[in-house]
Structure formats: C-alpha cells, structure tokens
Amino acid sequence: SKQKLVAPLLGYPGARLTHSSLKQNEFNPALHAATMSRIVERFAPDAAFFMMDLSLEAGALGLPVRYPLFESPTV
C-alpha cells in the first residue's frame, strides 16, 4: 500500500510559531516566509501551502477590507 501524502493548511495557526499576528504575516513577505519555514521545520509536511488570502484581490478592486490582528481578513 502506498503512503498518503500530508499537506495541511497550517499557515494561519502557524503564525504563533513566529510570535506574530496574521496581519503582520499578510503584509510582510519575509515574516510570512519565516512562518512557513517554521511550520515545515516543526511539522515536516509533504507539501506546504502559503497563507492564502483572497481579500487581497477584493482590496485591489476597491472593496473595503478589514485586517484584524489575529483573525482572517474580511471584505
């Protein structure tokens, strides 16, 4: 039997590994990369997905977006 690959979405909860907020990770690419690196080091997933935020596109189109410190952005 083949082993199943594991690729959990750990970006948002993983921000705690760098003692940072979601908002900080949203606007700081270096911090985002550091957070993702810590996630990979700690959990060793088979694949890692960056923190996905579709509200960025909405903001680019002119819609108001709220960026709370420790919650997902909302449109």
Amino acid identity of residue 57, one-letter, is E
Tens-digit pLDDT profile for residues 2-46: 889 999 999 999 999 999 999 999 899 999 999 999 999 999 999
Residue 1 has what pLDDT? 64
* Helix, strand and coil in the chain, % to nearest 5: 45, 5, 50
Residue 72 has what pLDDT? 87
What's the 3-state SS for 2-26? CCCCCCCCCHHHHHHHHCCCHHHHH
Domain ranges of the chain: 1-75
Can you tell me the mean pLDDT for 65-69?
Answer: 90
d(CA 31, CA 51): 12
Query: Taking the model in full, what pTM does it have?
Result: 0.82
Q: With a cut of 80, say whether residue 62 has pLDDT above it.
A: yes
